[in-house]
Amino acid sequence: MSKSKLEYIWLDGYTPTSNMRSKTKVEENFSGKLEDCPIWSFDGSSTRQAEGGSSDCLLKPVAIYSDPDRINGFLVMTEVLNADGSPHISNARATIDDDDNDFWFGFEQEYFIMDCDTQLPLGFPIGGYPGPQGMYYCSVGGKTLMAVILLKNTPIYVFKLDLILRE
Comparing 35 with 104, the larger pLDDT belongs to: 35
DSSP state of 45: G
Amino acid letter at 30?
F
User: pLDDT (tens digit, 9 = 90+) per residue, 79-129?
Assistant: 999 999 999 999 988 888 777 777 676 666 666 677 788 887 777 778 877
For residues 37 and 151, give the distance between their C-alpha atoms in angstroms, rounded to a whole number.
37
Where does the chain hold its CATH 3.10.20.70 domain(s)?
A: 3-95
> Facing residues of 89 across strands?
none
From the options 3.40.630.10, 3.10.20.70, 2.60.40.10, 2.40.170.20, give the CATH code of 3-95: 3.10.20.70
Distance between CA atoms of 22 and 29, rounded to whole angstroms? 22
pLDDT-based confidence at residue 159 (cuts at 50, 70, 90) = very low
Q: If DSSP codes are grouped into helix, strand and coil, which group holds residue 51?
A: strand
